[in-house]
Structure 1
Amino acid sequence: MKITVIVPTYKPQAYLWECLDSIYKQTFPKTDYELVLVLNGCDEPYNTQINEWLTKHSDLQVQYFQTDEGGVSNARNIALDNARGEYVTFIDDDDIISTACLEELYEKATPDTVSLCYPYAFNDGYLDEQLPYRISDAFKYCVKNKCTKISSKVRKFFSGPCMKLIPFSFIQNRRFDKRFKNGEDSLFMFLISDKIHNVAFTSKNAIYYRRIRVGSASNQKRVFKTILTSQMLITKEYFKIYLTNTPKYNFSFFLTRIMGAIYSVLIKK
């Protein structure tokens, strides 16, 4: 198996079928990739709906799990525990990928290289209207300047696990920290960054469409005290990871993660 596509979902709506349809319609051979779909923190009617979709798309290789334990980190960890691919890509359940996405990501990936695709942000219901997005700007800069290392522009891609194809050898038994509901994506990417030295970029035909949606986890309001406590704990984890294996981790990357945690608190305040 060449690629494992990981999709966690919680109380999904119509956007999930758009996401799954985009995975199904890939130009990459269906024999070479699998979907690992995890329904977390809920059951019916979503379980039945998902099984109905899977029945209609039986030629797609799928591992499907339902768990009563909530949390996107838990769902992703279940998927990683069962992944069979040489490479892993993460897709949020309300996002979409272009038909060439997996094919081009795989063409650019190597056992020591993370490949990155073109990020495209849009408001829910307005796919044709691209929004300003700092990672889209970073993509254009990196392609123009032929970036291959973790430069300041490239690091913008590593706040989360989506929009990229990661060699599973970089991950192995390392997992998302389920204690955190905010910042866990960044923490996971920093955790595996000791293995990330080379990057490669696809063409703009390989697109990750990020849906900006009211009610999504990333847009939910959080209490300042909760954010402060969470970011203090997550900062402690950054230091623990970095100080335990200092030679393996990039100091600039570490510093930007700490600054990002502080910025999250200041913005809320």
Structure 2
Amino acid sequence: MKISVIIPTYKPGNYLWECLNSLLVQTFSKKDFEIILVLNGCNDPYKSEIQNYIDTKMHGINIIFIHTMQGGVSNARNIGLDNAKGEYVTFIDDDDFVSPKFLQELYDNVTPSTISLCYPFAFNDSDSATQIPYRITEAYDYCVKHNKTTLISKVRKFFSGPCMKLIPINFIQNRRYDVRFKNGEDSLFMFLISDKINKVSFTSKNAVYYRRNRKNSAITQKRKVLDILRTGIDLMLEYSKIWMSSPIQYNLSYYLCMIFATIKNILLNLFRSLTFKS
């Protein structure tokens, strides 16, 4: 198996069918990739609806459907990694979708010692045809134009999450998401495996990851001040612990960038929380 596609989902709506359909029409050979769909934290009707959709719509696709009552996207992604058989792995959120050449171009541009990154296209929930400003799209354009391929550049913006990229499974090995964190866990995981990443490559704009911007996303929910402070401090401690475990292998500039980014997020989330209260 060449590629494992991991999709965590929780109480999915029609977005999930759009996501799965985009994988059904991939130009990449269907025998060379698998989908690992992990339903977490909920049961029927979602479980039976997904199973029925797989049985009736997803013919010819290698798909593993796993259900767990333990909630959390980090736990779901870990389960996906535990079951992955591919040489490379990519993550897709259940409310996003990808272009037909997504897997093919990512695979054509990856090597056992690099990761490949695709073109991000962000859009508002109500209008999938209109692109909206997105910092990772800006980073893609900058890096491609200036041939930036190392972590000491705007490439770091791609490491805020696991999506939009193809990662050699040997970069990940037995390392997993830290399920203690409900915020900041994506960036922490990418930093954890960054000791293996020396270089990246970019696909053309034919390989697109369509990122849906949802106003009612869990990210926008109000959080308590103490929770914000505790999470931020714990994240900085974890970043420091990882970096100090192998300061030669982990990029110092990247580490400092994540510490500053965490402080910035603490201040921003505190402002949002206090503004919400007032």
Q: Give TM class, smaller chain.
A: over 0.9
Point out where structure 2 has 5 or more consecutive residues left out of the alignment: 271-278
Report the residue type matching 1:9 in the other structure.
T
Report the residue type matching 1:90 in the other structure.
F
Give the corresponding residue for 2:27.
27
Report the residue type matching 1:93 in the other structure.
D
> Is 1:213–1:219's contact at 8 Å kept on the other side of the alignment?
no
> Is 1:36–1:83's contact at 8 Å kept on the other side of the alignment?
yes
Quote how far apart the aligned CAs of 1:227 are.
1.4
Give the corresponding residue for 2:73.
72
Separation of aligned partners in 1, 2:222 and 2:97: 24
SS in 1 for 2:248: helix
Cα RMSD (Å) of the superposition? 0.9
Point out where structure 1 has 5 or more consecutive residues left out of the alignment: none
Deviation per CA, 1:51-91, whole angstroms, max 9, x where unpaired? 01110213110111000000000000000000000000000
Identity score, percent = 58
The alignment's TM-score, normalised by the length of structure 2, stands at 0.95
Give the corresponding residue for 2:275.
none
Give the corresponding residue for 1:249.
250
Give the corresponding residue for 1:40.
40
Quote how far apart the aligned CAs of 1:125 are.
2.2
SS in 1 for 2:48: helix
Give the corresponding residue for 1:262.
263
Count of residues in correspondence between the two structures: 269
Quote how far apart the aligned CAs of 1:225 are.
1.7
> Is 1:22–1:99's contact at 8 Å kept on the other side of the alignment?
yes
Quote how far apart the aligned CAs of 1:12 are.
0.5
Give the corresponding residue for 2:50.
50
**Does 2:215 align with 1:197?**
no
SS in 2 for 1:166: strand
Between 56-65 and 143-152, the greater mean CA deviation after superposition: 143-152
Post-superposition, which runs of at least 4 consecutive aligned residues in structure 1 deviate over 4 A?
A: none
Separation of aligned partners in 1, 2:4 and 2:238: 28
Quote how far apart the aligned CAs of 1:217 are.
2.8
- The 5 A counterparts of 1:154-233 are 154-233=155-234
> Is 1:95–1:210's contact at 8 Å kept on the other side of the alignment?
yes
SS in 2 for 1:139: helix
Report the residue type matching 1:186 in the other structure.
S
